[in-house]
Chains A and B, each alone.
Chain A
Amino acid sequence: MIKWWKILAALLIFYTLVWGMLGSVPRLNILHETIRNVYYHVPIWFAMLFLMGYSVVHAVKYLSGNNFTSDIISDQAAQTGLFFAVPGLLTGSMWAKFTWGTWWTFQDPKLNGVAIAVLIYLAYFILRSSIDDELKRARISAVYNIFAFVMMFVFIMILPRLTDSLHPGNGGNPAFGKYDLDSNMRLVFYPAVIGWVLLSLWILDIKKRMALLAHIQNEN
């Protein structure tokens, strides 16, 4: 059975892919046509952050309720989130090449934050794979997940606001702030965010069902 929100996700993403290229955008210095990246890059990161948050919520749920399904969801959400980091990094890197003239810079707190986030979740998976006992694994990785998420949150949300950054939205660089994003862009940007988040939920739903089936099969 296909649920309505899956169709909505496909329609929204298709609409933003097409209209993101065809719609009119404001002509800004340096950015020019690359501003269209806002439609792809930013919603993908939103989807990733959403999934990481989803993963932490289920880690907390596991610790408070000891329901094994929560652990499976938490693990799968982190995996899917890390998967979304790849297109997020690629679109960002491509955009940076055309505006900043470089694929990657270590000067920028937001870019470093992303690198740290990827490292944290890789460490999370290594931790999971190094514990054999299922219940123990669930408990310990939930603890690490919560702790690491808070530190990542500090890194991504708080530190960039204290230091200057080249990244749009910081230090007077144009971005999708209230002055730069005109009403035409909003018509594409908001549907794009909803579409990508729904798509991430869709992928998560499939992965979760697969993992649950594998778990049931292992038990019997």
Chain B
Amino acid sequence: MATQLLSSLVKKEFVLEFRQKSTLAGILVYIVATVFISALCFKKIIHPMVWNALFWTIFMFIAVNVSGKSFIQETKGRGLYNYLNYSPRQFILSKIFYNMILMVVLSLLTFFFYSWFVGSMVQDLGMFLLTLLFSSSAFSGVLSLMSAIASKANNNISLMAILSFPVLMPLLLVSVKVSKHAIDGLDWSVSYKYLIILVMLNFVVVALATLLFNYLWKE
């Protein structure tokens, strides 16, 4: 029953998103434009460190922009409806799952366009994609809670950035480290402990978000 409700909530998010095609198209244009601008500015990136740093900076801004919108649609009336029908845990989990799926897809798209325009330097593609998967899911956990907080504080979009950048930093630094290893094609034995940290951070973030959302939810 609980999982059914959860999946229906996630489905609802997708239906809402696809009904408003302009936001999805907007995100795509945002990604392509950002990558294109950086490709034009840098012309050619020779140093793998620069490649890595630029990629994660672009991805972080995209992630903050996209998931900053997760609670904007929640009007007062709809909030009351949700409050009566769902438990807070289901509600935040549905947001996190939806954001996870969206973020994984968007990170892959960003990587695709980035490799196309700027050129790929990744030697160990499997490791890189794994890092992308884990870090984008952890990102979505953090950013879902942050956008819930920002939405309670008058939906200020700059507040979203201020709140989430410092909190994202530990995640981002681990991701940058592992993806640098993947770019250099280092052995898995060097980087597996960072991957474990990423997975652990996923659990910590999702657990904290579900726990704390309880208190945000009540008006």
| Chain A interface (Cβ < 8 Å from any Cβ of B) | 63, 109, 112, 116, 119-120, 123, 126-127, 130-131, 136, 139-140, 142-144, 146-148, 150-151, 154-155, 158-159, 162-163
Pick the most buried of A112, A127, A148: most chain B CB atoms within 10 A of its CB: A127
Chain B positions 111 through 150: 1 when the CB is less than 8 Å from some CB of chain A, otherwise 0: 0000000000000000000000000000000100100010
**Chain B residues positioned under 8 Å from A109 (CB to CB):** 173
Please determine whether A143 and B170 come into contact, CB atoms closer than 8 angstroms.
no
Chain B residue numbers with a CB within 8 Å of A123 are 162-163, 165-167
Contact B170 A151 (CB under 8 A): yes
In the assembled complex, 6 residue pairs joining A and B whose CB atoms fall closer than 8 Å, in A order, are A112-B169, A123-B163, A126-B162, A130-B154, A140-B153, A159-B170
Q: Which residues of A contact B159 (CB under 8 A)?
A: 126-127, 130
- From B154, B165, B174, B212, give the contact of A147 (CB < 8 A): B212
Name the A residues within 8 Å of B209 (CB-CB).
147
Q: CA A112 – CA B177 in complex, angstroms?
A: 15
Q: In the assembly, what is the distance between CA of A206 and CA of B54, in Å? A: 47
**Which residues of chain B from 205 to 219 have any CB-CB distance to chain A below 8 Å in the complex?**
208-209, 212, 215-216, 218
Interface positions of B (Cβ within 8 A of A)? 142, 145, 149, 152-154, 156, 159, 162-163, 165-167, 169-170, 173-174, 177, 193-194, 197, 201, 204, 208-209, 212, 215-216, 218
Contact of A151 among B153, B154, B167, B177 (CB under 8 A): B167
- Quote the shortest CB–CB distance from B65 to chain A (angstroms): 18
Chain B, residue nearest A137 (CB):
B153
Residue of B nearest to A145 (CB): B212
Q: Give Cα distance in the complex from A126 to B170, angstroms.
A: 21
Q: Is there contact, CB below 8 Å, between A150 and B204?
A: yes
Q: Nearest Cβ distance between residue A106 and chain B, in whole angstroms?
A: 11
Contact of A120 with B167 at beta-carbon distance under 8 Å, contacts A127-B153, A130-B154, A143-B149 already known:
yes
Residue of A nearest to B161 (CB): A123
Contact indicator A148/B166 (Cβ below 8 Å): yes
Report the bound CA distance from A71 to B201 in whole Å: 28
CB-based nearest B residue for A156:
B170
* Neighbouring B residues of A150 by C-beta, 8 Å: 204, 208
Flag if B215 contacts A143 (CB, 8 Å).
yes
Which residues on the B side are within 8 Å of A63 (C-beta)? 215
Determine the distance from Cα of A6 to Cα of B38 in the docked complex, in whole angstroms. 57
Count A-B contacts at CB 8 Å: 75
Shortest Cβ gap from A57 to chain B (Å) = 15
B interface, over-half SS: helix
B25 to chain A, nearest CB (A): 31
Among B154, B170, B193, point to the contact of A155 (Cβ < 8 A): B170
Could you tell me if B201 and A154 are in contact, using CB atoms closer than 8 angstroms? yes
Residue from B152, B174, B194, B204 in contact with A131 in the complex, judged by beta carbons closer than 8 Å: B152
Bound CA–CA A120/B170 (angstroms): 12
- CA of A146 to CA of B154 in the docked complex: distance in angstroms? 21
Q: CA of A159 to CA of B171 in the docked complex: distance in angstroms?
A: 10
B193 — which chain A residues lie within 8 A by C-beta? Answer: 162
What are the 10 closest A-B residue pairs judged by CB atoms, nearest first? A119-B166, A155-B170, A120-B166, A143-B212, A151-B167, A154-B170, A130-B153, A116-B169, A123-B162, A131-B153
Kindly provide the distance from the CB of A181 to the nearest chain B CB, expressed in whole angstroms. 29
In the complex, A139 Cα to B213 Cα: how many Å?
A: 11
B173→A148 contact, CB < 8 A: no
**Given A116, A136, A147, A155, which contacts B145 in the complex, CB threshold below 8 Å?**
A147
Q: Cα distance A136–B219 when bound, in Å?
A: 8
Would you call B153 and A162 a contact (CB within 8 A)? no
- Across-interface contacts of A127 in B (CB, < 8 A): 149, 153, 159, 162-163
Contact between chains at A139 and B173 (CB < 8 Å): no
Give the residues in chain B near A147, CB-CB below 8 Å: 145, 167, 208-209, 212
